[in-house]
Amino acid sequence: MDYAVAVKKIIAAENEAQRQAAEAKERVRRLLGEQLEADKAKLKKEYEARVAVRLQKLKAFEEAVALEERKQIEQDHDQCIAALEANYAANRNAWVQRLFAYIIGEPLSPNDDFNHSSGNAV
């Protein structure tokens, strides 16, 4: 009977070793899963931080471009206003005389020189 007891002890020891190996595998799997989740969270935070920096740089660049475009538009606007005011200053008297002549019904020829009034000044 010593033989049967020895076999039972060997089988019990084998079963215990398999149980402990299964527990160890499960513990390793759980720890690796937790580590994987922690690594994923860390990578996500790192990527989000990098994206935030890139977005900030892109925003600053776009704002600088928009500011330059605005300055160019304002400069073009100022040049147009200056040209309009120069045109007005150069032609004001002619326009006033032509308008006056139109209102009072005098016929005008296209060659009328309104810069030197002919007595019909307003």
In one-letter notation, the amino acid at residue 109 is S
Q: Considering only CA atoms, which of 116, 121, 78 is closest in space to residue 96?
A: 121
pTM of the model: 0.50
How much helix, strand and coil, in percent to the nearest 5, is found in the chain? 85, 0, 15
More confident site: 115 or 81: 81
Residue-wise pLDDT tens digits, 48-107: 999 999 999 999 999 999 999 999 999 999 999 999 999 999 999 999 999 989 898 887
